[in-house]
Amino acid sequence: MKTKEMAKISLFIGLFFICSNIIPPINIIGISFTFQTILILLIPFMLNVKEIIIWYVVLILICAIGIPIMSGFSGGLGVLIGPSAGFIYSWLPQMIVQRVFIAYNTNRLSIVLIMIIMSFISIFIGALYFIFVTNGDIIITLKSFLLSFGIVEIIKVFIVMMIVNKLPKRYLT
């Protein structure tokens, strides 16, 4: 791996730590809103698929050994099997699908739509895992997660697109 790739991956690990711990005082069924997903939506514009996979594996390993890289300065195996772990596991396919779509599509509206669709799929996966771990009510949990997180995710998609539109082309993959 080239030094430039390692530097980009390391930069996004650091940015993830920062974004994970910017937490507005909003909490839905024990899961806080964070700015992690802004970075999850932004990474596919700036890293290729190989770099995304390496970034994700490094992130999971850092978390697994207990370094507090996740939301609320948390880390460890408990985070990777806890109620919100489904969101974490949905990020990799979300980023890869988004990256592949971006690579073959320049239409901004289509990119926004795929970002919204993938965000909702991620929320759905996170909600299903949450239901499985907590033995929660399926309808109530899905409805509250999709409505609460969905609205915020749509806003985050537009924030990411504003960031992407302001970035110099050399930073975009």
Number of Cβ atoms within 10 Å of the Cβ of 58: 17
Rounded to the nearest 10°, the torsion over CA 102, 40, 156, 72 is 180
Tens of pLDDT, residues 13-41: 999 999 988 877 666 555 566 789 999 99
User: In this structure, what token pair is assigned to residue 9?
Assistant: 């991956």
The per-residue pLDDT for 126 is 93
Longest dimension (CA), the chain: 48
The per-residue pLDDT for 25 is 64
pTM (two decimals): 0.91
Tens of pLDDT, residues 40-89: 999 999 999 999 999 999 999 999 999 999 988 899 999 999 999 999 99
- Name the pLDDT band for 151 (thresholds 50, 70, 90): confident
